[in-house]
Amino acid sequence: MHIVVCIKQVPDAKNVRIDPETNTLVRQGVDSIVNPHDWYAVEAALLLRDEYGGKTTVMTMGPPQAEEALRETLALGVDEAVLLSDRAFAGADTWATSLTLARAVEKLGPVDLVICGKQAIDGDTAQVGPGLAAHLDQPYTTYGRRLELVNGDQLRVERLTDFGYEVVQMALPAVVTVVREIGDPRMPGLKHKMRAKKLEIPTWGAVDLDLNPEEVGLQGSFTQVVKVFSPPPRSDREMITGEVEEQAEKLFNLLRAGKVPGL
């Protein structure tokens, strides 16, 4: 069984702020980390490999320094890694990103399962996993909390919903995105870390994936970010105090003054 995990390097959200003048993210001096949701994808892949055997490959699209993110996951015991890096990939939206990732999955040869985190903490779209499945023309399931191989060619997924969970079974090859309930990512191991340090990681560009410049990056994107801004601070709040009856009275009057229908 060959499992591919797609990860993303993102700015550490703890330190990100938005420049109030320009409304852009201040990236200077902000560390890059592996998207926290992607660690669960890595753990999900390793759990499956531990149980059923096979190989795991981690993949990311990003600038050359995203290789560091790949090595971090290799330290947990992932077998192989591929970096998709090319100036032409810059500015990609979820369509162009998932297309590029899909071509890379195809280039890796027969892949049984692609696992992604449920979403990235910078874009928060949760679209790349499903987009990848669309480009690969494969079935997909999102928000997996437990994965189980059935009959060797089917994946049974417990899919987390707002009201409990659904059990979905789909034929492999397929794509699944996973949530935190998969289980905490394991700790790095010394032997894996030593190996991760030395492992040769191939870098693939648009040419290696047989993609034209107009299919990738900003050119291959259907959407563009027009503006990033912080929501205006909310100062129009009032704390209602006093005895419960008193509070109810005040609230009622406020609602009525605000012309809430029915009051």
Q: Does 188 help bind another protein (rule: CB under 8 A)?
A: yes
* Position 193 contacts another protein (CB under 8 A): yes
Q: What is the distance between the alpha carbons of residues 97 and 62, in angstroms, rounded to a whole number? A: 10
Using the rule CB under 8 A, is 250 a contact of another protein?
no
Pairing assessment for the beta strands 55-61 and 2-7 based on DSSP bridges: parallel
**Rounded CA separation 113/103 (Å):** 14
Report helix, strand or coil for 32: strand
Q: Which of 194, 207, 255, 263 binds another protein (CB under 8 A)?
A: 194
Q: 189 vs 202, which CB is nearer to another protein?
A: 189
The interface region with another protein, picked from 90-98, 150-158, 182-190, 231-239 by CB under 8 A, is 182-190
CB 94 within 8 A of CB 224: no
Written as six digits, the tokens of 67 are 């290789």
Looking at the Cβ atoms of 180 and 193, the one nearer to another protein is 193
For the bound state, the minimum distance from the C-beta of residue 132 to another protein, rounded and expressed in Å, comes to 30
Residue with smaller CB distance to another protein, 27 or 197: 197
> Residue with structure tokens 């399962």?
113
Part in contact with another protein (CB under 8 A); list of ranges 24-32, 37-45, 167-175, 190-198: 190-198
- Among residues 194 and 254, whose Cβ is nearest to another protein? 194
Read out DSSP for 160-210? EETTEEEEEEEESSEEEEE-GGG-PPPPP-HHHHHHHHH----EE-TGGGT
Annotate each residue in 85-124 with x if it binds another protein (CB under 8 A) or - if it does not, as one string. ----------------------------------------
| Residue 187 in contact with another protein, rule: CB under 8 A | yes
User: Rounded to whole angstroms, how far apart are CA atoms 172 and 182?
Assistant: 20
Sole binder of another protein in the list 51, 197, 218, 229 (CB under 8 A)? 197
Distance CA 41, CA 69 (A): 14
Residues that bind another protein (CB under 8 A): 186-194, 197
